[in-house]
Every structure is written in structure tokens, then in C-alpha cells.
């Protein structure tokens, strides 16, 4: 079931790709269960001009279980911890098989534009506090496109 669904989503993305100015997404080395996404920092966010990589791992129970998605590029955001884990409801308790990887990446782009600092347990408490108390300083601190850290995180994840 998972392979059939992943193939369908890949075909849909190839047939109707997202604008390259937003993100790209594809399997890694023909392994349909491991993908990489590259998000270009949204222009209406503090990440404008940055390039952010994410690793995507589909479980064998996909789409009945959500994919595991992590930033491999360091990003300063209330909803992302230092390991790249993302706090996103649709990747946890609100996941349904109706969601696609396109929807997941679109939601991650939205979190980059407008983080949700009001979750009960923010993944980055420091960024959350700064976002709530000093938005200008948060926006100056947020652009973090650290390639060395990206390689480090990817090694931990893989």
C-alpha cells in the first residue's frame, strides 16, 4: 500500500510540480521511502534568500502513519528544535491518510512564514520567547542557513 501511494504522490508532483521558487522535492537515490525537500526561504519571512533542506522518511504504513520530516539545515524557529524536528499537528495527532507530502511541505512553509509560538510545549523555547516578546530581534536572529550544521544533523538522522 505504501509504495503505491508514494508512487502516486511522486507522479502527481512530476506532473504538477511546485514552483521551484518555493521548493523542490524528490526521492533520494531511487529509494522511494527516503526523500529530500529543498525549501527556498519564503520571501515574506525572515528566511528570505536562505535555502533549507529537509529529510523525509515514509513509514511502511504510509499513508496510515505520517512521514517523518526533519530540517537538516539549522533553522531558528519556535516550532523546530536543534535536531530539526518539527512541531506540526498534521505530522502528529491530526494526521489523516488524506494528507499528501505536498500538503506537509506547504504547511512547513507556512510555519516558516508564521510560526505558532502558542503550542503547549514549543520545541524551541528560546525562539518562542523571543518571537513573543521582541519580534524584530527574532526576525534578525531567525535567518540561519548553516551548511556545516546541516551535514552534522543529516549524519545524526541517517
Per-residue cell: 56: 523525509
| Residue ranges in the chain whose pLDDT is less than 50 | 145-158
pLDDT of residue 148: 41
Residue 37's domain comprises 2-157
pLDDT of residue 106: 96
pLDDT of residue 143: 73
Q: In CATH, what number is assigned to the domain containing residue 20? A: 3.10.110.10
Cα dihedral: 58, 153, 82, 10 (round 10): -30
Residue with the three cell numbers 523525509:
56
Nearest Cα to Cα of residue 35 among 126, 118, 145, 157: 157
109 assigned to active site? yes
Residues 14 and 25: beta-carbon distance below 8 Å: no
- Total domains, the chain: 1
Nearest Cα to Cα of residue 111 among 27, 24, 52, 26: 52
Which member of 40, 101, 108, 109 is catalytic?
A: 109
Amino acid at each position: 500500500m505504501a509504495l503505491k501511494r508514494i508512487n502516486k504522490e511522486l507522479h502527481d508532483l512530476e506532473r504538477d510540480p511546485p514552483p521551484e521558487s518555493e521548493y523542490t522535492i524528490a526521492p533520494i537515490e531511487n529509494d522511494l521511502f527516503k526523500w529530500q525537500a529543498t525549501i527556498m526561504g519564503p520571501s515574506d519571512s525572515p528566511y528570505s534568500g536562505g535555502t533549507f533542506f529537509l529529510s523525509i522518511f515514509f513509514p511502511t504504513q504510509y499513508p496510515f502513519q505520517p512521514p517523518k520530516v526533519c530540517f537538516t539545515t539549522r533553522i531558528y524557529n519556535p516550532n523546530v528544535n536543534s535536531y530539526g524536528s518539527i512541531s506540526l499537528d498534521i505530522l502528529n495527532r491530526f494526521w489523516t491518510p488524506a494528507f499528501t507530502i505536498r500538503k506537509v511541505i506547504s504547511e512547513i512553509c507556512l510555519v516558516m512564514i508564521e510560526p505558532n509560538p502558542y503550542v503547549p510545549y514549543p520545541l524551541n523555547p528560546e525562539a518562542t520567547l523571543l518571537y513573543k516578546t521582541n519580534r524584530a530581534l527574532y526576525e534578525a536572529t531567525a535567518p540561519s542557513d548553516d551548511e556545516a550544521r546541516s551535514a552534522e544533523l543529516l549524519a545524526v538522522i541517517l
